[in-house]
Structure 1
Amino acid sequence: MKEGPDIARIAALIGDPARANMLTALMTGKALTATELATEAGITGQTASSHLSKMDEGGLLRVLKQGRHKYFSLANDDVASVLEGLMGLAARSGHLRTRTGPKEASLRKARVCYNHLAGDMGTRMFDSFLERGFLKVSGDALDLTAQGGAFMQGFGVDMAALRSGKAPLCKECLDWSARRSHLAGSLGRAILSRMEELGWAKRTQGSRVVTFSRAGEQKFRSEILAGTG
């Protein structure tokens, strides 16, 4: 057996259809119970428990016990990034599950990718931050500039708290629908949370869709895009 990371094991954990459905459900960023995840996967509770145990052992999940209940969430941003990347690969390869109605358009416009803004509005925000000099790409690294830090502080993001944390501040995440990048990392998470605090947007219950109010979308255009979008 050759040395190195065992990608086959991770791929096998993700590749099972039931496990893939459960992992996709957790891309909302919310913790769900085994019963809720069984419903998402269309399987029995006993089968779901077996799958969840395997994914927990494989490092894909974080388990939180509260009273008699267990709640499952994605282990970290790395897992979410891998899932989003696989969604992009599936979309580019033509492997899509067809969903009719307005939900698809809503997902493409604005959705949560684990804990940050994705979809068309997410990629436009990323492009705007690059164009305005708030973000800088250096090789494979994405950095927040001093100008960007000042803007974020003025927007109400606690930059000192973010910089003191262990999570990466800025990460580039490939958007599966737009096939362009959006902003991940602790900053991406903080920006989405701030938009929710301001009442610009809210997450749709039981879905990855992020819905902006009319006033919130106008604020997004004037303050986040600032004429660049």
Structure 2
Amino acid sequence: MLDFMSTLSPSMAGMSSLLTVLDAIESEPAAVELRARSYELLGDLTGRTVVDVGCGSGRAVAELAERGAHALGVDLDPEMIAVARRRWPAGAFQVGDATELPLETESVTYYRADKMLHVLDDPARAVAEARRVLAPGGRAVLLGQDWDLIAIDSDDSATTRRLIHEKADALPSPRVARRYRNLLLDAGFTDPIVEVHTAVFTDDTALDVVKRITDEEDWLAEQGERAHANRILVVVPIFLVAAQA
């Protein structure tokens, strides 16, 4: 699965650039802490089977394995699975669809989907699939951003609002993160826990982020000037929801 500022499937020419941005974002202290919190909300990982759906370049699968889990990464993009296998040769990765997982019913203890549901036309179908593959007493954790709630400091607030909404509306399910709790309840999960974390970017990563929102030159020029003057600010609320199968 493609991470924070990706669109859908990148071309080969754009893969290296995309991975550079994703690696920078995933290395941010807040992102490291958020992943760790998602693992904590799953529960005791030792010896448990975990499927990470929309695994992208595979970092979470490697981290889950380090914590003692039998982790499987599933992603629809064969290029991303190839990257994951190169980076983490000891990991288990498989091309697969979030709405039709290559897993038996009740075959895993934990399910994790990180910044993935917004690229699906029918997120509810993926959550129902999570419920199918989880064993009784298992847990699911969903996390991701609500694209309408991104905040960017700018001298042109009207254009900024327009560009954020245009980016959101170009995605299949840009507001799904605010629906995580209800999607889980609708699929038969119980006892949901809802948290909202905030990713704050004030360095070159922030400029990479805004460049993936739009190619509007005048607005990007202002953001570039802000970055050069150490005045750029991008804030992204991340929803983190866990529930019991």
Indicate the TM-score class for this superposition, using the shorter chain for normalisation: under 0.3
Q: Between Structure 1 and Structure 2, which shows a larger proportion of strand residues? A: 2
Q: Compute the TM-score of the two structures, normalised by the length of structure 2.
A: 0.26
